[in-house]
Structure 1
Amino acid sequence: MGTLFLDAGLLRHRALIERNDPVPDAMGGAADRWHEVGEAAVRVEPARAEVSPEAGQRIARITHRVTLRHRDGLERGMAFRLGSRRLVIRTLHDPDETGRYLVCRCEEER
């Protein structure tokens, strides 16, 4: 496997990086509480959109591939905030194992 070449000009979106710290509610559940933990230049590519039935409704799931320079502390469950959109990280990996980039598979939160 060769080394990934990525034109830095492709990292053209500024995204806030957020962590979710759920707050327990009175009903035994939890409410999401997102707070900013960083910022990064990213490349966002739509990956797929699928519709599936859930609880009698048709629910759309939209996924994206987000590429950024490697950074410590990024993990599944965190999110990229792009304006009013939140892309929640489902998986992340180093595409060529050089420690230069991370590729995240994200699901757009609705």
Structure 2
Amino acid sequence: MGIRAGELKHRLTIEANTPVRDEYGGMVPGWAPVAKVWAKLWAKSGQERQTARANQAEVSHGVLMRSFAGLTTAHRLTMGTRSFAITFINDTIPGQFTLDVTEKLGREAS
């Protein structure tokens, strides 16, 4: 049984860690878009901790999406200004991925 299209309500961008050109023409670490996909995103849990005198919240999410060739934990997902690090990819069901992702909130989020 496949994913029903109505479940995929979030538009996410898959990004790869790629050197990008800065305003001076040099290359700096950055993220480049690979593809836009429809997915289902839901919050699973959260925690808050203090690091270097700054509070940082971390929220764990689940993502359901159609399979995407070459997707690894080296990629990240973005939605608007939010970014999600991929921590686990479950590809046991043909044609779909269930991902565990982490969103960092606060001053040290990147």
**What is the TM-score normalised by the length of structure 1?**
0.76
How far apart are the structure 2 equivalents of 1:84 and 1:43?
17
CA RMSD in angstroms, aligned pairs only: 2.0
Paired amino acid for 1:35: A
Gap change, CA 1:32 and 1:64, over 3 Å in 2: farther
Alignment-derived partner of residue 53 in structure 1: 50
1:41 equivalenced with 2:44 (yes/no):
no
Matches within 5 A, 1:70-85: 70-85=67-82
Runs (4+) of structure 1 moved beyond 6 Å? none
How far apart are the structure 2 equivalents of 1:98 and 1:13?
21
How far apart are the structure 2 equivalents of 1:101 and 1:35?
23
Aligned residues: 98
Matches within 5 A, 1:1-110: 6-21=3-18, 32-94=29-91, 97-109=92-104, 110=109
Q: Which sections of structure 2, spanning at least 5 residues, go unmatched?
A: 21-27
